[in-house]
């Protein structure tokens, strides 16, 4: 949704690859011909049946009098034309597969460019460095990464703490702190410090390669609806085979004068060839549409479940708001001054380089609130700043809750932050803490009057209140303001129009959450969420028969991601989250969960539309062929509503049947037109276009082709 | 046409629909297991029957248990009736001294009645003793209707997901008999006697006519069969001429009363379905779709003027005869009040469509069952276009559901087309008088369509009493009866525990969906049968057989 | 021989249902019918004098030209009715044979008109009813065409 911000990401790069046909037209045609082998068509019974019909007509073209009762030698040219059309029909099908495959290979190779070959510094047992190519690294190797280096391959930090820029891989612009046991993604860049790390994957087996391999794999998992459609197509194929066989039987017994080639033509026309030919391509293209936007589906089920979403869990921070809350005011309380609050806030935030912390420093500077203790900070800063020293200076109440700070995660995961300083004049130790109002209140013996009211007031206005305490005395609040992302309101509206319930989940106070919720149009709010809240919410919704989609990145999210029907993990998130999720967003753009839902719907719609269209087409084909197929029953001419002569009628129907496949390839690749509407209105619109349109269009199409065929001088055959 | 006919038709529809709605309340209390004031009367009766039958009516059954008990019970019932028919000469209540029924005809007859088909290759009045008519035919007419109703309510329970399972077969079966079919038939029998249908065990009466010749008045327990044969959409009559015979259908009033009876339960069951799934509109949608196609069939049949011709009864006239024929096939009853040879081929085409679709509204219980089958297939094909995995009643449609529903759909053309082809290629058709021409084709095609649809009307009649047709139609009737019941019970069994989404995206309880369902059903029927209708009744019509063959 | 448990319930239930539906039900209906509808339950028998001469519901053959004649082509083969237009077409012949005027015969027919749709539709009449009426009304003409 805010892809404009993330210029250098996957989507942007894809455009440079030259589009889907980079494999070359010749390669695609060649592959489509290879796919014509009957063995490769075994998984597609509809097209296999068409190919077998082709072989039969081919035999008839060579030996036109082979079966006396149902063939006529003088019809040889007609048999040849039918054989050619049938061949082309099958070829159109394999061609659509090949185009879709070429397209997805192009996508995969553009994704793969992220992981480039670089020079790495490998350490031997005695820690002696040597330069090697990243391609030669193996799992278990120890490497050294220096400030400014590209991280050569997926690895795990052993020693050191450093700030890493993962934007090349994930699109996330904020630096991420990495400490021992954290994993590093190959392709990202170390911006500070030096790290020692152990290679965790062989080249080609990295997380990214594995994801890309899923995209490229020909063993892509079939989605449940794809399976069901395959069953439907098999059933229809069996049904029409029996009908046509019995019709042949009757024709012989009752002397109805049906020609075998005409019967085979009717057979192929009745078979749902359109959906049979395009079903694989539709699936591949659906996955491709996701992949080209940087979303990798680990299971086919997830793509469809996305379309089925009833409840969408949205994190407030990052998805609905930018998440980099800014301090906008200091509010003193209990007789303290604004300056006291400002100075205390300054001290508490000096080394807090979250956006919030930085904005507090900014605000204090602007207002001129320099604390006396500044000198001691100065000394502290004299030491070279590194993530490691910051780590040692931070003391936290509850170490279990500590998660390395990363843009915008402040309040939810760190309920309270406390720092100690030595007063330069008295040498006394002072203890400054800031945090959520209730967390701070719990830590002090006495709470000033009006504390709760002020906290509520700040929350009710949609801002976040952060309380500041000096020693055991609360001095006031920092008013933090978050910005709602542009365009999110329209997206939420779309989601609601489609009958999906968005749920906003946040660690904020109820009132703050409500304010933001009403601003973007979300009614269901879960505030003051704890890490386990998401998981509970997901299972509760599922018990009520809802399909739940969510997004997550932290280790805390992993259980919820695992149980959610659609769990979209950010590539920038923890490995646990990514493993638990069934979709991974390489760009780590939180708002994309909504796009995933729409892409899922579009895939389902496209399949349903082509299936319906294909079956609806049969009516016209019956009316074109049946009245003219019984040469001994001239009376049937009276229901020949298209008025075409036997040869022309059969060929026109067959040609229509064949060319509709390439005509619909763009639809299969692009997906049926999708606008967020209520499920019922989407359904009705498509039912009119593909259902009723599917019944009527072939009447016109066959008639038009018939007229064109009649223009051929001397007749078609 | 005289507008009075249209008004009359609308009055009949109104009367049927209103009565069916009231009946559905009763059915809901019977099968929804809700307490009723009538329990005081019926509970002791039911408990006695459960005790005599040695069954525990409270035991929840899996779909397999439910189906196997239904099937085995039907086998035993047919076997008992077979014994009665096959040894009637040695059994009481045979005042005419009719000989034993030949085994293949007896087999065909009991399988025909037990499968709710009632294809009759015999003329009852000259073949069956009173005991055979009662303990052979009437008995099976009750039990086959009860089996169909039981299967349907079990399927509804599973689809509704509100009953924690699909229920107990014996409980449903006994309640169908004691609380629905027997009371309704009792009232209807007495009314029919009042309207002139005989009910006597005194033997046929030989009289001297006005001019002194001898005439046999074939009176017997006719009313007690005629009631259940219509109410249970069985259709097998006491007489070979079925409801054309004046003792079965003496007057225009009895005629419309019998039409009312055959429409009653099939019209009521969709309402019951709506109540059991907890959304009455779901039931109305099913009913409206069914009646829409039924009405189309009626309109098509009346589009070509049918004149009172050979094969119709004067007291009914052309209108009532056409109305009956379309209705008896749409409701898969199969009773006839005129010879099928009397009708123009458009009426026959309409009759074919009723039997090919089987759910407009179809027979007792199974009609709605077939409608659910069409809904599953339709929702799956078109529902995806809504951009969601198709759901019905809040439950997602799985690949397995699609597979089973498709088999249930495809068994029908297979059971019709292949035996028809065999009948022609083995010469069996010719032996029964069907030539290699459109008329002959229609005769045999109709025979197997009627058998597979468990309808029972036919062209062949006693001409079908050959070993080939007795055995082949018996097989087709049973497969056509029990395969779909098994498949739909299986879908329902897996549905019963499926998680429901209370607010599905695609709503199936409205007129729009009904319209789409109607188009889909017609399309599916046309896709399967179009070429065969073309070389049958359509060709015969084009060749000029406007009124009869 | 012991019947496996799986089959004992359905077998017993089959026997129970056979007795209930195949015996008790028809017998009860017969009992009610004989008491409530003694005339209808035995086939609406027609009498002439003290003799039963058939059923109004079942057509019987009339050979003499003084009578109205039933159809002989119909679905049941025993259709007791003819349309009024059929009846009118028979009137000249009957008038010739009996000497009764066409007007009298037409009036007679009109007395027995019934309608296929109960109160509208095609007009028809019951042949036996009309013939018995003629026999009873004009005994002088008809008595020697009647047996017994």
> Minimal Cα–Cα distance from B138 to chain A, Å?
37
Q: Active-site residue among A141, A182, A193, A315?
A: A315
Which A residues in the span 221-240 are in contact with B, Cβ-Cβ below 8 Å? 224-225, 227-229, 231-232, 235, 238-239
Environment class of A668 (CB within 10 Å of its CB; exposed 0-12, middle 13-18, buried 19+): buried
CB–CB contact C21 B139 (8 Å): yes
Interface residue A621 vs chain B (CB under 8 A)? no
Give me the number of domains chain C comprises. 2
Q: What is the pLDDT of residues A124-136, one digit of tens each?
A: 888 889 988 888 8
Q: Are residues A444 and A517 in the same domain?
A: no
pLDDT given for residue A426 in this prediction: 66
CB contact under 8 A, B224 and C52: no
CA distance A472 to A209: 53
pLDDT tens sequence across A262-292: 999 999 999 999 999 999 899 888 888 888 8
User: Measured between alpha carbons, how far is A644 from A268 in angstroms, rounded to an integer?
Assistant: 19
Cβ count within 10 A of residue B515: 14
Report the run of H or E that residue C82 belongs to, with start and end.
strand C81-83
β-pair partners for A478: A330, A466
Same domain, A73 and A29: yes
pLDDT at A4: 32
Which of B75, B189, B308 lies nearest to residue C122, judging by beta carbons?
B308
Contact B213/C at CB under 8 A: yes
**Where is average pLDDT lowest: A193-197, A586-590, B257-261?**
A586-590
User: Which three-class secondary structure state does DSSP give residue A568?
Assistant: strand
Which DSSP state fits C144? G
Provide DSSP, A432-471: EEEE-HHHHHHHSS---TTHHHHHHHHHHTT-EEEEEEET
| Number of independent structural domains in chain A | 4
pLDDT at site A112: 74
- CA–CA distance, B187 with B182 (Å, rounded to integer): 9
Contact B207 C53 (CB under 8 A): yes
Contact residues, chain A, for B402 at CB < 8 Å: 228, 231-232, 235
- The answer to whether the CB of A586 falls within 8 A of the CB of A558 is no
Share of chain B above pLDDT 70, in %: 99
The answer to whether residues A154 and A183 touch, using CB atoms and an 8 Å cutoff, is: yes
Strand partners, B312: B338
Who has greater pLDDT, A190 or B409?
B409
**Do C103 and C127 have their domain in common?**
yes
DSSP B40-100: HHHHHHHHHHHHHHT--TT----HHHHHHHHHHHHHHHHHHHHHHHHTGGGSS--TT-PPP
Same domain, C19 and C56: no
Using pLDDT thresholds of 50, 70 and 90, give the confidence band for residue A411.
very low
Query: Is the Cβ–Cβ distance between B510 and B400 less than 8 Å?
Result: no
pLDDT tens readout for residues B417-450: 999 999 999 999 999 999 888 889 999 999 999 9
Question: In this complex, is the C-beta atom of B306 within 8 Å of any C-beta atom belonging to chain C?
Answer: no
Cα–Cα distance for residue pair B394/B41, rounded to 1 Å: 38
pLDDT for res B449: 97
pLDDT for position B200: 96
Output phi, psi for A602, to 5 deg: -65, -40
In this predicted structure, what is the pLDDT of residue A387? 35
pLDDT at A12: 38
Measured over the CA atoms of residue C57, residue C60, residue C65 and residue C67, the dihedral's sign is negative
Instruction: Tell whether C11 and C75 lie within a shared domain.
Output: no
- What kind and span of H or E run contains B29? helix B3-31
Shared-domain flag, residues A452 and A364 = yes
Mean pLDDT, chain B, as a whole number? Answer: 94
Q: Which pLDDT score is estimated for A202?
A: 83
> How does pLDDT run across A637-659, given as a tens digit for each residue?
999 999 999 999 999 999 999 99
Instruction: Determine, yes or no, domain membership for A590.
Output: no
Least confident window among A331-345, A560-574, B212-226 = A560-574
Alpha-carbon distance values, A5 to A2, A8, A113, A494 (Å): 6, 9, 21, 22
Whether residues B384 and A542 touch (CB distance < 8 A) is answered with no
Q: What's the pLDDT at B46?
A: 96
Q: What counts of helices (H) and strands (E) characterise chain C?
A: 6, 5
Could you give the C-alpha distances from B535 to A200, A617, B203, B296, B438, in angstroms and in order?
72, 22, 47, 22, 7
Q: How far is residue A95 CA from its own chain's centroid?
A: 26
Domain of residue C117, residue span: 45-145
Q: Which range is least confidently modeled, A546-555, B183-192, C9-18? A: A546-555
For chains B and C, having 3+ Cβ pairs within 8 Å is answered yes
B198/C42 touch (CB, cutoff 8 Å), yes or no: yes
Long-range CB contacts for residues A48-52, cutoff 8 Å, separation at least 24: A49/A237, A49/A241, A49/A267, A49/A268, A49/A271, A50/A86, A50/A89, A50/A90, A50/A93, A50/A268, A50/A271, A50/A273, A50/A276, A51/A86, A51/A90
Name the least confident of A86-95, A497-506, A571-580: A571-580
Q: Is B520 exposed, middle or buried (0-12, 13-18, 19+ CB in 10 A)?
A: buried
Q: How many CB atoms lie within 10 A of CB B310?
A: 14
User: Where do we find the tokens 């429901």?
Assistant: B500
Residue A465 backbone phi and psi in degrees, to 5: -95, 130
- pLDDT band at residue B546, thresholds of 50, 70 and 90? low
Give the integer Cα–Cα distance in Å for C92 and C89: 7
Peptide bond between residue B361 and the one before it cis (omega within 30 degrees of 0): yes
Tell whether C62 and C89 lie within a shared domain.
yes
- CA B226 – CA B185 distance, rounded (Å): 9
C136 to A97, B69, C114, C129: CA distances (angstroms): 91, 62, 21, 11
| Residue of A305, A309, A635 to mutate for B, most B C-beta atoms under 10 A | A635
In this structure, what DSSP letter does residue A643 have? -
Q: What would the pLDDT profile of B161-175 be if each residue is shown by its tens digit?
A: 999 999 999 999 999
Residue among A717, A610, A705, A708 nearest A655 (CA): A705
Q: How far is A240 from chain B (nearest CA, A)?
A: 8
Question: Is A375 within 8 Å of chain B by CB?
Answer: no
CA end-to-end distance (rounded Å), chain B: 24
Query: Region B334-354: what's the mean pLDDT?
Result: 92
Q: Which residues of B are less than 8 Å from A604 in CB distance?
A: 384, 386-389
Interface of B with A in 506-545 (CB under 8 A): 506-507, 512, 516, 519, 523, 526-528, 530-532, 534-535, 538-539, 542-543
Q: How many CB pairs under 8 A join B and C?
A: 268
Higher pLDDT, B506 or B246: B246
**CATH code for position A373:** 3.40.1110.10
Contact B413 A242 (CB under 8 A): yes
- Measured between alpha carbons, how far is A375 from A372 in angstroms, rounded to an integer? 7
> Is B73–C10 a contact, with Cβ atoms under 8 angstroms apart?
yes
**Percent of residues, chain B, with pLDDT higher than 90:** 89
The answer on C76 and C50 residing in a single domain is: yes
Q: Is the pLDDT score of A384 beyond 50?
A: no
A315 flagged as catalytic: yes
Pick the range with the lowest mean pLDDT from A205-214, C84-93, C94-103, C107-116: A205-214
Residues near A68 by beta carbon (within 8 Å), at least 6 away in sequence: none
What is the distance of C-alpha A349 from the center of its chain?
A: 37
Does residue A312 lie within any of the structural domains?
A: yes
What pLDDT, on a 0 to 100 scale, did the predictor assign at position B403? 96
Phi, psi of A385 (to 5 degrees): -70, 130
Mean pLDDT of A493-505: 90
Is pLDDT at A717 greater than 70 in this prediction? Answer: no
- Residue A599 pLDDT more than 50? yes
Q: pLDDT grade, residue A13 (50/70/90)?
A: very low
C-alpha to C-alpha distance for A682 and B393, rounded to whole angstroms: 19
Sign of the torsion formed by the C-alpha atoms of C97, C103, C105 and C106: positive
**Residues A641, A686: one domain?**
yes
Query: What percentage of residues in chain C have a pLDDT greater than 90?
Result: 86
Flag if B530 and A250 touch (Cβ within 8 Å).
no
Q: Do C117 and C136 belong together in one domain?
A: yes
- Which among A178, A205, A232 is the end of a domain? A205
- Residue A47 binned pLDDT confidence (cut-offs 50, 70, 90): very high
Yes or no: say if B481 and B367 are a contact pair by the CB < 8 Å rule.
no
B113 vs A140 pLDDT, higher one: B113
For residue A161, what pLDDT is reported? 82
Averaged pLDDT for residues A137-158: 88
Distance CA A431, CA A461 (A): 30
Q: Which residue has the higher pLDDT, B222 or A218?
A: B222
Task: Check if the beta carbon of residue B365 is closer than 8 Å to that of residue B394.
Answer: no
What is the predicted pLDDT for the residue at A239?
95
Looking at the fold, whether A358 and A477 belong to one and the same domain comes out as yes
From A171, A205, A239, give the residue that closes a domain. A205
The CATH number covering residue A167 comes to 2.70.150.10
d(CA B520, CA B381): 9
Per the domain annotation, does A549 fall within a domain?
A: yes
The rounded percent of chain A whose pLDDT value lies above 70 is 85
Nearest to B342 by CA among B310, B316, B317: B310
Q: Which is higher by pLDDT, A390 or B52?
A: B52
Whether residue C85 sits in one domain with residue C63 = yes
Q: Which are the contacts of A7, defined by CB distance < 8 A and separation ≥ 6?
A: none
Residues of B in contact with A45 (CB under 8 A): none
HEC string of A481-497? ECCECCCHHHHHHHHHH
Could you tell me if A659 and A692 lie in one domain? yes
Question: Which whole number is the average pLDDT over C37-46?
Answer: 96
Mutate to test the interface with C, among B187, B246, B257, B336 (most CBs of C within 10 A): B246
Asked if residue A51 lies in contact with residue A238, where contact means CB atoms within 8 angstroms, the answer is no
Tell me the residue range of the domain where A185 lies. 119-205
Calculate mean pLDDT across residues A336-345.
Answer: 89
Structure tokens at A436: 């959520």
Domain ranges of chain B: 3-542
pLDDT band at C72 (very low <50, low <70, confident <90, very high): confident
| Cα of A302 to nearest chain B Cα, Å | 12
Structure tokens at A553: 């990145």
Residues A64 and A171 placed together within one structural domain of the fold: no
> Is A612's CB within 8 Å of B542's CB?
no
Q: What is the pLDDT of residue A43?
A: 86
Closest by Cα among A637, A619, A620 to A628: A637
Q: Summarize pLDDT for B194-227 with one digit per residue, the tens.
A: 999 999 999 999 999 999 999 999 999 999 999 9
Overall residue count recorded for chain C in this entry = 148
Closest residue in C to B175 (Cα) is C17
Asked if C54 contacts C147 with a C-beta cutoff of 8 angstroms, the reply is: no
Question: Is the domain of A331 the same as that of A380?
Answer: yes
Residue A592 counted as domain residue: no
pLDDT value of residue A385: 29
Quick one: average pLDDT of A586-604? 85
Q: Cβ–Cβ contacts within 10 Å for residue A158, how many?
A: 13
**pLDDT classification of A234: cutoffs 50, 70, 90:** very high
Q: Average per-residue pLDDT in chain A?
A: 82
Tokens 């400002």 correspond to what residue? A342
Do C31 and C50 share a structural domain?
no
Cβ contacts of C74 on chain B, cutoff 8 Å: 244, 310-314
The set of chains that have 3 or more CB pairs under 8 A with C is B
Count of beta carbons in the 10 Å neighbourhood of residue A639: 14
Tokens (6 digits) for B189? 């029998």
pLDDT score at A404: 30
Distance CA A176, CA A172 (A): 9
Tell me, yes or no, whether C9 and C50 share the same domain. Answer: no
Q: Which two tokens stand for residue B31?
A: 């099968």
């Amino acid at each position: 949704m805010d892809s404009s911000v993330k210029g250098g990401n996957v989507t942007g790069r894809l455009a440079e690859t030259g589009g889907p046909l980079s494999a070359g037209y010749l390669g695609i045609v060649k592959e489509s011909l290879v796919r014509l082998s009957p063995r490769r068509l075994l998984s597609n019974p509809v097209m296999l049946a068409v190919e077998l019909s082709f072989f039969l007509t081919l035999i008839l073209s060579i030996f036109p009098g082979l079966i006396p009762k149902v063939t006529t030698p003088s019809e040889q040219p007609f048999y040849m034309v039918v054989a050619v059309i049938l061949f082309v029909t099958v070829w159109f099908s394999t061609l659509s597969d090949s185009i879709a495959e070429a397209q997805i290979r192009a996508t995969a190779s553009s994704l793969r460019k992220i992981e480039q070959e670089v020079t790495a510094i490998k350490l031997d047992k005695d820690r002696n460095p040597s330069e090697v190519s990243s391609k030669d690294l193996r799992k278990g190797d120890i490497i050294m990464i220096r400030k400014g280096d590209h991280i050569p391959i997926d690895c795990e930090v052993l020693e050191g703490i450093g700030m890493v820029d993962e934007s090349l891989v994930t699109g996330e612009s904020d630096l991420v702190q990495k400490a021992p046991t954290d994993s590093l993604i190959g392709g990202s860049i170390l911006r500070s410090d030096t790290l020692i790390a152990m290679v965790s994957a062989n080249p080609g087996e990295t997380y990214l390669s594995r994801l890309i391999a899923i995209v490229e794999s020909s063993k892509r998992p079939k989605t449940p609806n794809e399976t069901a459609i395959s069953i439907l197509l098999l059933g229809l194929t069996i049904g029409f085979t029996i009908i046509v066989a019995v019709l042949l039987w009757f024709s012989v017994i009752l002397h109805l004068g049906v020609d075998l080639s005409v019967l085979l033509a009717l057979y192929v026309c009745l078979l749902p060839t359109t959906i049979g030919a395009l079903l694989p391509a539709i699936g591949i293209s659906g996955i491709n549409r996701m992949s080209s936007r940087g979303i990798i589906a680990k299971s086919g089920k997830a793509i469809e479940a996305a379309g089925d979403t009833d409840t969408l869990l949205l994190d407030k921070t990052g998805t609905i708001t930018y998440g980099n809350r800014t301090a906008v005011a200091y509010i003193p309380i209990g007789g303290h001054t604004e300056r006291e609050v400002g100075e205390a806030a300054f001290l508490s935030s000096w080394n807090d380089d979250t956006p919030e912390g930085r904005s507090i420093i900014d605000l204090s500077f602007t207002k001129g609130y320099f604390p006396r203790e500044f000198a001691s900070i100065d000394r502290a800063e004299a030491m070279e700043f590194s993530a490691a020293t910051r780590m040692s200076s931070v003391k936290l109440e509850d170490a279990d809750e500590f998660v390395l700070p990363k843009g915008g995660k402040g309040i939810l995961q760190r309920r309270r932050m406390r720092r100690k300083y030595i007063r330069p004049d008295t040498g006394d130790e002072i203890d400054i803490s800031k945090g959520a109002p209730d967390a701070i209140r719990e830590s002090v013996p006495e709470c000033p009057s009006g504390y709760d009211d002020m906290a509520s007031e700040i929350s009710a206005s949609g801002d976040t209140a952060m309380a500041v305490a000096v020693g055991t005395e609360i001095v006031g609040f920092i008013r933090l303001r978050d910005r709602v992302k542009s365009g999110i309101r329209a997206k939420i509206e779309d989601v609601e129009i489609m009958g999906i319930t968005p749920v906003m989940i946040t660690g904020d106070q109820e009132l703050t959450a409500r304010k933001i919720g009403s601003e973007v149009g979300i009614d269901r709010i879960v505030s003051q969420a704890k890490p386990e809240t998401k998981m509970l919410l997901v299972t509760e919704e599922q018990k009520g028969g809802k399909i739940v989609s969510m997004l997550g990145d932290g280790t805390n999210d992993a259980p919820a991601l695992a149980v959610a029907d659609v769990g979209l993990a950010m590539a920038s998130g923890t490995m646990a989250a990514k493993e638990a999720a069934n979709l991974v967003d390489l760009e780590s753009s939180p708002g994309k969960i909504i796009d995933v839902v729409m892409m899922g719907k579009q895939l389902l719609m496209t399949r349903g539309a082509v299936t319906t269209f294909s079956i609806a087409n049969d009516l016209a084909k019956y009316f074109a062929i049946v009245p003219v197929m019984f040469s001994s029953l001239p009376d049937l001419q009276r229901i020949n509503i298209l008025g075409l002569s036997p040869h022309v009628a059969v060929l026109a129907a067959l040609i229509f049947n064949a060319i509709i496949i390439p005509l619909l390839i763009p639809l299969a690749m692009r997906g049926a037109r999708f606008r967020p509407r209520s499920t019922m209105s989407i359904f009705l619109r498509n039912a009119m276009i593909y259902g009723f349109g599917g019944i009527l269009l072939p009447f016109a199409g066959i008639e038009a082709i018939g007229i064109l065929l009649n223009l051929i001088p001397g007749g078609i055959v | 046409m005289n507008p009075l006919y249209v008004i009359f038709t609308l009055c009949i529809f109104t009367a049927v629909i209103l009565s069916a709605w009231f009946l559905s309340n009763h059915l809901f209390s019977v099968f929804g297991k809700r307490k009723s004031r009538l329990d005081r009367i019926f509970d002791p009766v039911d408990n006695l029957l459960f005790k005599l039958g040695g069954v525990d009516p409270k035991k929840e059954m899996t779909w397999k248990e439910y189906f196997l008990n239904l099937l085995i019970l039907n086998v035993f019932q047919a076997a008992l009736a077979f014994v009665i028919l096959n040894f009637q000469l040695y059994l009481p209540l045979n005042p005419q001294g009719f000989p034993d029924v030949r085994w293949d005809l007896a087999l065909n007859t009991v399988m025909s009645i037990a499968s709710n088909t009632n294809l009759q290759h015999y003329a009852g009045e000259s073949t069956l003793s009173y005991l055979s008519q009662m303990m052979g035919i009437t008995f099976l007419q009750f039990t086959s209707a009860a089996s169909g109703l039981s299967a349907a309510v079990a399927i509804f329970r599973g689809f509704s997901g509100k009953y924690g399972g699909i229920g107990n077969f014996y409980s449903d079966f006994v309640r169908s008999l004691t609380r629905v079919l027997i009371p309704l038939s009792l009232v209807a029998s007495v009314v029919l006697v009042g309207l002139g249908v005989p009910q006597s065990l005194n033997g046929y009466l030989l009289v001297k006519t006005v001019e002194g010749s001898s005439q046999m008045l074939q009176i017997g327990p006719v009313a007690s069969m005629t009631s259940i044969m219509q109410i249970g959409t069985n259709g097998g009559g006491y007489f070979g001429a079925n409801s054309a015979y004046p003792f079965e259908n003496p007057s225009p009033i009895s005629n419309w009363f019998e039409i009312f009876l055959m429409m009653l339960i099939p019209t009521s069951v969709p309402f019951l379905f709506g109540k059991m799934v907890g959304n009455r509109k779901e039931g109305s949608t099913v009913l409206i779709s069914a009646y829409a196609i039924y009405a189309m069939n009626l309109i098509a049949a009346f589009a070509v003027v049918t004149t009172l011709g050979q094969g119709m009864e004067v007291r009914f006239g052309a209108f009532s005869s056409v109305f009956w024929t379309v209705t008896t096939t749409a409701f898969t009853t199969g009773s006839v009040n005129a010879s099928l040879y009397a009708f123009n081929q458009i009426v026959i085409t309409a009759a074919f469509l009723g039997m090919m679709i089987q759910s407009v509204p179809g027979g007792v219980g199974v009609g709605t069952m077939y409608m659910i089958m069409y809904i599953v297939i339709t929702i799956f094909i078109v529902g995806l276009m809504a951009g969601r995995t198709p759901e019905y009643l809040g439950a997602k449609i799985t690949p397995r559901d699609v597979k089973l529903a498709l088999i249930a759909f495809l068994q029908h053309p297979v059971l019709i087309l292949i035996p028809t082809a065999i009948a022609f290629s083995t010469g069996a058709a010719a032996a029964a008088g069907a030539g290699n021409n459109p008329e002959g084709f229609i005769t045999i095609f109709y025979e197997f369509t009627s058998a597979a649809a468990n309808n029972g009307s036919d062209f062949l009649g006693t001409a079908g009493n050959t070993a080939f047709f007795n055995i082949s139609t018996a097989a087709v009737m049973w497969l056509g009866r029990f395969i779909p019941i098994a498949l739909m019970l299986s879908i329902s069994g897996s549905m019963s525990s499926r998680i429901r989404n209370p607010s599905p995206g695609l709503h199936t309880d409205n007129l729009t969906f009904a319209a789409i369902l109607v188009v889909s059903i017609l399309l599916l029927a046309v896709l399967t049968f179009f070429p065969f209708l073309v070389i049958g009744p359509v060709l015969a019509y084009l060749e000029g057989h406007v009124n009869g063959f | 021989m012991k019947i496996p448990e799986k089959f004992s319930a359905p077998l017993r239930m089959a026997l129970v249902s056979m007795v209930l539906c195949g015996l008790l039900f028809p017998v009860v209906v017969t009992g009610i019918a004989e008491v409530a509808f003694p005339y209808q339950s035995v086939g609406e028998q027609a009498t002439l004098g003290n003799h039963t001469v058939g059923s109004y519901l079942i057509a019987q053959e009339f050979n003499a030209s003084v009578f109205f004649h039933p159809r002989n082509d119909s679905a049941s083969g025993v259709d007791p009715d003819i349309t009024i237009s059929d009846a009118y077409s028979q009137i000249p012949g009957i008038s010739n044979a009996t000497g009764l005027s066409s007007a009298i015969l037409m009036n007679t027919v009109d007395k027995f008109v019934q309608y296929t749709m109960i109160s509208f539709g095609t007009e028809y009449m019951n042949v036996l009813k009309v013939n018995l009426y003629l026999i009873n009304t004009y005994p002088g003409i008809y008595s020697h065409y009647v047996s017994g």
